[in-house]
Structure 1
Amino acid sequence: MGDKPQSMVYALVGALLAALVWMLLDVWRGYRVRAWLRHGDLAMVPHLAGWWGVLTERARKLLRERERSIDASEQRLKDFLSAIQTSPNGVVMLDAQAQIEWCNQTAAAQLGIHAERDVMQRIGNLMRDPVFTAYMALEQPSEPVVIEGRGHRVDRPVRISVQRHRYGEGKQLLLTRDVTVVEQAEAMRRDFVANVSHEIRTPLTVLSGFVETIQTLPLSEEEKTHYLSLMATQAHRMQGLVEDLLTLSRLEGSPVPSMRQSFPLSRLMASCEQEAKGLSASLGQGDVSHHIQFVVNPLLTDAVLMGEGRELQSALSNLVSNAVRYTPTGGDVHVSVDQGIDGSLLIEVRDSGAGIAAEHLPRLTERFYRVDRSRSRESGGTGLGLAIVKHVMQRHGGSLHIASEVGQGSCFKLVFPASRWMSTHA
């Protein structure tokens, strides 16, 4: 009987020892799980049995889903930032203290800030423009402000539109846009309307005065004839202006001339030569006129230009008539045709006139731009001729080059690419 209690004690001790071992093993498993969760390395998942294994597998799946979600979010953020980086508009994110949190390269280039070095710098310390400073001081600006951008110069303006939006807890978003071209286009539109109004009003005022004179004053037939001649001149001037405006409108609104159309070079040159000599005779004094010479490379006498004949005629006619009008009587007007080393066709109109100062050359093809307004009106010009020439050349894939020097005359060169002309010589 004494051995039975002793065996029970041994059994109880063995059970306690087994329980203790199991508990120690369980604690060890828990420690491994805790250590793994602390590091969160999915590559080091502990392989455990029992409910610790179930817990570990469940945690592994949740961590894997979380990791995938973070990766997807990071990728979306990268895609979003990449899209903003390629935007032609600038984006600047400011915190509640107006410090730069992030900006794209467009905004950095437009505002003259550094996308990385200037992070957490106050935008007001970097942008000293008084207009920008006043705009940022407004509580709720309703309209964007336009400031001078990086690299702004008088001869090459850079105008940037800045618009501010609030978001989050005191944060701000700046959106920038280069409006230089828009402002220039608007300025050109205003100038165009003002110039057209002025150009039409002037001859109309003269005509109105002549009509009133004829109606109210007793005039001899000789005086009436004189006034009617002056009225005809003003009417012709208005007609020329309207025709040039319609030509420009047609050039800007019609399709590019087809390569299937062609116009013989010889016909173009003959027509312009006849026109130049007729104009010279009308402007000459007695038997004195201009020395006009048209020279074509013998290899190009049978060449044809691929394009719209009326436009080509208008372009060369404008250059030749300008050369005659702005060259004193007895001066030289030389028109030549040759082939460039790249296969292009070159038509050059050179005169011995007064020449043009260098500062005027970049603007000569602007509508209504005149070096000397009074002299241009006396010569009968509308101020649209070179604008027409530029448009015609652009529509034919070519270009207009101008060289001039005061006292040395001027040279206007039409350059047609090799694809826009061909020789019919067999």
Structure 2
Amino acid sequence: MTIALVLSLLLAFGATVAASQMWRRQRVLLRWTASGMGDKDAPDLPGTLGEIGERVERALRAADVRQAEHAHRLATFLTAIDASPNGILLLDAQDQLQWINQTAAGHFGLDVQRDRDQRVTNLVRSPAFVEYLQAERFDEGVSFPSPRGEAMLSVTVRPYGDALKLVLSQDITVRERSDRMRRDFVANVSHEIRSPLTVLAGFIETLADLPLTGSERQRVLALMRQQTDRMRNLVTDLLALAQIEGAPRPLPDTWTDVGELLAQIEISARASDRDQHHFELQSGSPAQLGGIESELFSAFWNLVSNALRYTPAGGRVTAQWSVRPDGTGEFRVTDTGTGIEREHIPRLTERFYRVDSSRSRETGGTGLGLAIVKHVVQRHDGELLIDSVPGKGSVFRVVLPAFRVREGPLGMWGIGRNL
């Protein structure tokens, strides 16, 4: 056998061995790639295949890191949306729910997991919402009661992507209630002022057009003065209420002697009542109240004047101050008036709310007294409690917290009221 032939055979054998090794290494690399690659390190292979495996492994590791970062950002984003005070629904092209946050689930009575992939109009059946969604005119939103009826919802739809929709919901119950109260307030003020103005205009025409005797003229002037006082009282109460509502909560660093406060109330009560009722004031032990003296007087006096106003002549009205065993202070006004039906009691502190409007106007009330009391008491961290039995009378109690009450005369705590 010639040397050339031997060399040829050796070369062929070497090539075969090399090819076989290459094939086995390729099979190892292929099995690694087929196994998912991410769970195991790249096989330790020499040469180009080893370098390819290492580069693929690095690329996969980098891709895993990027995917984890994207997943974390998405989870953070969805968590933030889920915590949003506004409801959010994601709908596909067929209006099927793809994602719901917790707020929207509460608004529409949905289940975050169960209701996914359901058509939203099969779940939210409000006619206003269904018509709005189907009309596809989303320049403005739509408002309607929630499915359970306990809230008013404002809903806006924003199209995005390929026929996808973003539904945003907001609970506007408080805003609707505030708007309604504002409208009612304006209407009530207009009515309250227009009534005495109409009376005054009539009297002015009477004075201008008719020859009146001296006594008739005096009677007309007295009625005009009465209507003028009514408007003045209304404006005064409106200003007082506006000032109280807009002022910051007072600190308990200015102290008012309760005895002096009650003395002012007794003087005012005796002067306005003119012995029409059996009025009694029980001052209790000496004490001081931390807060604004003018506001506390206004609250206490409104309760006393209301009791005198709505108790028939000859009835009894008792005002009493006491410090309770737990350190809280209580100002109690009890009357033997006609009493108030139970269904009216929760609304008594609303502005201009009257159980009997004609009777209230006859007695000169503005309809703002108890609203002022409520705001003063709330600003002083207290509570207004009302009990009444029709035909037997009423009890109004202002309870102030212990940190705004201290027993003993003012002098024992120092000189002056600002401490």
Question: What's the TM-score, normalizing by structure 1?
Answer: 0.92
Runs of 4+ residues over 6 Å off in structure 1: none
Aligned to 1:19: 15
Write out per-residue CA displacement over residues 303-352 of structure 1, whole angstroms, 9 at most, x where no aligned residue.
Answer: 11111100100011101100111111122212222234542211111212
Pick closer, same or farther for the CA change 1:343–1:49 going to 2, 3 Å.
farther
TM-superposed CA distance for 1:414, in Å, is 0.9
Aligned to 2:83: 86
Give, in whole Å, the separation in 1 of the partners of 2:181 and 2:117: 41
TM-superposed CA distance for 1:36, in Å, is 2.2
Aligned to 2:284: 297
More displaced stretch, 74-83 vs 266-275 = 266-275
Identity of aligned residues (%): 44
TM-superposed CA distance for 1:42, in Å, is 4.6
Give, in whole Å, the separation in 1 of the partners of 2:148 and 2:303: 36
Aligned to 1:140: 137
Correspondences of 1:112-261 after superposition (within 5 Å): 112-152=109-149, 157-261=150-254
Contact 2:327 2:405 in 1 (8 A): no
Contact 1:297 1:337 in 2 (8 A): yes
TM-superposed CA distance for 1:215, in Å, is 0.9
Contact 1:42 1:60 in 2 (8 A): no
Aligned to 1:34: 30
1:414 aligns with 2:407: no
TM-superposed CA distance for 1:151, in Å, is 3.1
Contact 1:291 1:330 in 2 (8 A): yes
Aligned to 2:357: 373
Pick closer, same or farther for the CA change 1:388–1:10 going to 2, 3 Å.
same
Give, in whole Å, the separation in 1 of the partners of 2:37 and 2:231: 85
Write out per-residue CA displacement over residues 68-112 of structure 1, whole angstroms, 9 at most, x where no aligned residue.
Answer: 111111111111111111111000000000010011010010111
Write out per-residue CA displacement over residues 166-212 of structure 1, whole angstroms, 9 at most, x where no aligned residue.
Answer: 11111111000000111111111111111111000000000000011
Correspondences of 1:39-58 after superposition (within 5 Å): 39-58=36-55
Contact 1:323 1:353 in 2 (8 A): yes
Instruction: Give 1:102's match in structure 2, choosing from 87, 99, 102.
Output: 99
Cα root mean square deviation, aligned: 1.6
What secondary structure is seen at the aligned counterpart in 1 of 2:270? helix
TM-superposed CA distance for 1:274, in Å, is 2.2
Contact 1:42 1:64 in 2 (8 A): no
Give, in whole Å, the separation in 1 of the partners of 2:385 and 2:44: 81
1:320 aligns with 2:304: yes
Contact 2:157 2:167 in 1 (8 A): yes
Contact 1:345 1:416 in 2 (8 A): yes
TM-superposed CA distance for 1:270, in Å, is 1.5
TM-superposed CA distance for 1:30, in Å, is 2.0
What secondary structure is seen at the aligned counterpart in 2 of 1:142? coil
Contact 2:38 2:61 in 1 (8 A): no
TM-superposed CA distance for 1:114, in Å, is 1.1
Give, in whole Å, the separation in 1 of the partners of 2:281 and 2:4: 134
What secondary structure is seen at the aligned counterpart in 2 of 1:356? coil
The AA in structure 2 aligned to 1:28 is: R
Pick closer, same or farther for the CA change 1:170–1:15 going to 2, 3 Å.
same
What secondary structure is seen at the aligned counterpart in 2 of 1:44? coil
Give, in whole Å, the separation in 1 of the partners of 2:320 and 2:147: 45
Give, in whole Å, the separation in 1 of the partners of 2:9 and 2:64: 48
The AA in structure 1 aligned to 2:339 is: G
1:383 aligns with 2:367: yes
Unaligned runs of 5+ in 2: 413-419
Give, in whole Å, the separation in 2 of the partners of 1:49 and 1:341: 91
TM-superposed CA distance for 1:53, in Å, is 1.6
Contact 2:124 2:147 in 1 (8 A): no
Tell me how many residue pairs correspond in the alignment.
409
